Structures are given as C-alpha cells and as structure tokens.
C-alpha cells in the first residue's frame, strides 16, 4: 500500500475508512477497546439482529439503507471482471475471533478495471453471506481492497464443496495454525475461471456496518475440497450476517 495499513480486522473497523491507512502491517490482528466495549457475535445477545443496539457507532447496522450482504439474482453470464493481481502476496494469517483473516504486507496491489487498488486483507464466512436466487453457498471469501482515499472495494468469491483447490491451501492452513503464521495468497489464482459478476453499493457485513463499500461478487463459485471446507468450518461456522433488504438499489453486471 502507498502508506502503511492497519492490521485491525475488517470486522472491527471504526466508522472512518481512513483507518485502513495507519499502523504497520505484518503482525496479526489484535483485540481493541472497541472490541471489548461492544462485543458482537453471530448468536445470542450479540447476534446480528441486536448489532444496532450494542453501541452508538453500530447504528447503521439497524438503520442503514444500503446494507450488505444481499440476495443476488441468478447468474446471467455477462462480461468478465477485469482483474489483474500482482502475483503471490505475502502476509500474516490469524484468527481474529470472528473469522480467519490474511492481512497483506504493504505493496500488494490488484488492478480492477484498470484502477490500482491495495489489497488489505482476505477473510472467509461459512456458509456464505451473499445468497444467489435465495440459495447460500458453502463458504464465501472476501478480498478487501482500498484506494488512496481509503474507499473500499470488496471482491466476493463463493465456494462450494468439490475438488481440492491448491490455491486456497495456505489460507486454509491458517485456520488450523492456532496462532498467526506467515502466508502467501495469489488473488487471481483464487478466482474462478469464469468471472462474470454482480456489483452493487453496500456496507461492511459486520459492525459498524459502515456504508459506501463497492461490492463485486463473482457469479460462479470456486470448488474447495471437503477437507478444506472442514478445516474452515472447524475454525468458524455460521459466521454469516443474514441478507439485508435491497431497497432502491440496483444490482449491475458492469463496473
């Protein structure tokens, strides 16, 4: 990244997206006072339906009108996403209590539609957060990017049970490591061969549910082996926010 990025997980980002450029990268996510003061979860008193009441800065979780995830239309097979990765990216994979997250070292970029964006982190949800025509996938991976102003673009990749996928081995290994470990990911290698997509304006899918996030969700799922999905689910399962109303937004198939 052009300036050092924070190692705070997306799941606890404060309202100002500018915090994505701050602390030194390379160490695993850490617990913050923000975490301790307003605990949230996927069940019980801290479940998604209560997020908006847990803290003032979480109000958008209940009152926002452009919330994520959403139910996406059935695949239509339109234009392919114009995405070029920078090749293998090094970083640290660690469990932040809500998911297993890869935090990229500085300098990792992805070109999307010709615009260079900084790869910030990659994390997963099991099952998926976005649904397609009402159906959830086995898992979903979020490739979080930021531009120079800190505005976020998240590329969502759905995953289904199938053949073992070596491109995900290093990330999945982080789910079983028990502590932060050095890892390498290759964004392009982790995407499906067919890259038609749906895009819309949404939000973070976890508190504080900040809006203004550009979502690009690939229509075709990748396959992961039963062993790979099993390792992810053993670390976190059911860590998915329910779909939110689309409202007056439009889901498009072009950037």
Contact 239, 125 (CB under 8 A): yes
Secondary structure class of 174 (helix, strand, coil): helix
253 is catalytic: no
b (16+ CB within 10 A) / e for 135-148: ebbbbbbbbbbbbe
- How many C-alpha atoms does 1 have within 13 Å on its Cβ side? 29
Give Cα separations from 249 to 42, 200, 202, 252 (angstroms). 26, 7, 9, 10
CA distance 83 to 109: 11
b (16+ CB within 10 A) / e for 30-60: eeeeebeebebebeeeeebeebbebbebbbb
CA distance 165 to 177: 19
Phi and psi dihedrals of 12, rounded to 5? Answer: -125, 25
Task: Considering the candidates 34, 50, 98, 130, report the single residue annotated as catalytic.
Answer: 98
User: To which H or E segment does residue 119 belong?
Assistant: strand 115-125
Q: Which residue has the tokens 């010709």?
A: 114
CA distance 84 to 114: 8
Q: Show which residues are catalytic.
A: 98
């Amino acid at each position: 990244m052009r300036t050092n990025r924070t190692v705070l997980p997306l799941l606890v980002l404060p309202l100002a997206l500018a915090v994505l450029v701050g602390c030194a990268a390379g160490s695993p996510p850490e617990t913050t006072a923000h975490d301790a003061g307003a605990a949230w979860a996927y069940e019980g008193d801290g479940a998604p339906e209560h997020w908006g009441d847990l803290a003032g800065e979480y109000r958008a979780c209940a009152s926002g009108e452009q919330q994520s995830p959403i139910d996406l239309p059935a695949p239509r097979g339109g234009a392919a996403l114009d995405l070029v990765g920078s090749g293998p990216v090094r970083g640290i994979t660690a469990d932040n209590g809500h998911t297993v997250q890869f935090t990229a070292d500085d300098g990792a970029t992805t070109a999307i539609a010709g615009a260079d964006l900084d790869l910030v982190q990659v994390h997963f949800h099991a099952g998926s957060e976005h649904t397609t025509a009402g159906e959830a996938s086995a898992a979903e991976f979020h490739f979080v990017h930021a531009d120079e102003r800190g505005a976020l673009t998240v590329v969502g990749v759905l995953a289904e049970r199938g053949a073992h996928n070596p491109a995900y081995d290093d990330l999945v290994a982080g789910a079983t490591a028990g502590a932060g470990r050095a890892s390498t990911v290759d964004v392009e290698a982790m995407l499906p061969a067919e890259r038609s997509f749906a895009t819309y304006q949404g939000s973070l899918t976890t508190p504080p549910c900040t809006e203004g996030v550009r979502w690009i969700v690939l229509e075709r799922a990748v396959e992961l082996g039963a062993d790979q999905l099993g390792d992810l689910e053993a670390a976190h399962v059911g860590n998915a926010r329910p779909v939110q109303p689309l409202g007056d937004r439009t889901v498009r198939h072009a950037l």
